[in-house]
């Protein structure tokens, strides 16, 4: 099912096309590539790359965005190939999308092996998302389930798997920051370190029901090796601040 094709451009990394049919495209997005280019920018975004791919067989075709990843987040992302598919996905997103899972390298260690982050999030005028009191006007409930994959004793970082129950803007980043364990490299949300030279957040799995065939499809992207390399490097550092 995973027919991998690559597109190389001016951005960092590569875009891999994991799956395509007459309605949908699934890609593996590199970190540092915006989904849609900022207004006035001439730099190609992921949307442009997917559109160019579609136009190889349909000169008038265009990609349709149905969900987003932050520019500095890598991993699996789904596009519709036409308006009918976009509407079918967006109108039934919560029913069709069964799982969205991320891997994050975070600062410090979580208080237990697993748990749920359940909070209310708001966005200010600068686009920063923060926690608010439950029921605050304009706030949206956000629920993220997490478990620890690796938390070597005495190290500065932990590796987490996170599964979204809701899909709010900057949900994982804001919730982890609020509990004092921001994603490594996420200066915007209070990270004090940047061990990998990137935001250490990766969308590693999406599982959804095809809106027309109703077949359940699962796509995965390998967790970036640099996440584990950071843990390994920390583990080799001598104790005592040397």
**Residues with catalytic annotation?**
70
The overall longest dimension of the chain from CA atoms, in Å, is 62
CA 198, CA 30: separation in Å to the nearest integer?
11
């Amino acid at each position: 099912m995973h027919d991998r094709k690559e597109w190389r451009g001016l951005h960092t990394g590569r875009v891999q096309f994991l799956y395509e049919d007459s309605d949908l495209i699934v890609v593996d997005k590199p970190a540092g590539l915006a989904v849609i280019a900022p207004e006035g920018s001439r730099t190609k975004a992921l949307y442009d790359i997917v559109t160019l791919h579609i136009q190889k067989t349909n000169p008038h075709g265009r990609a349709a965005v149905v969900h987003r990843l932050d520019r500095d987040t890598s991993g699996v992302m789904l596009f519709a190939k036409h308006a009918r598919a976009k509407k079918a996905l967006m109108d039934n997103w919560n029913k069709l999308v069964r799982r969205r899972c991320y891997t994050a390298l975070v600062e410090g260690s979580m208080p237990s092996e697993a748990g749920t982050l359940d909070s209310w999030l708001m966005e200010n005028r600068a686009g920063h998302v923060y926690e608010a009191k439950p029921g605050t006007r304009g706030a949206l409930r956000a629920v993220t389930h997490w478990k620890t994959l690796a938390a070597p004793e005495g190290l500065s970082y932990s590796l987490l798997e996170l599964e979204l129950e809701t899909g709010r803007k900057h949900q994982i980043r804001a919730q982890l920051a609020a509990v004092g364990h921001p994603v490594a490299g996420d200066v915007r949300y209070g990270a004090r370190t940047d061990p990998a030279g990137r935001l250490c957040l990766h969308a590693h799995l999406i599982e959804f029901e095809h809106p027309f065939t109703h077949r359940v499809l699962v796509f995965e992207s390998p967790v970036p090796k640099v996440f584990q390399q950071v843990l390994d490097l920390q583990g080799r550092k001598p104790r005592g601040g040397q």
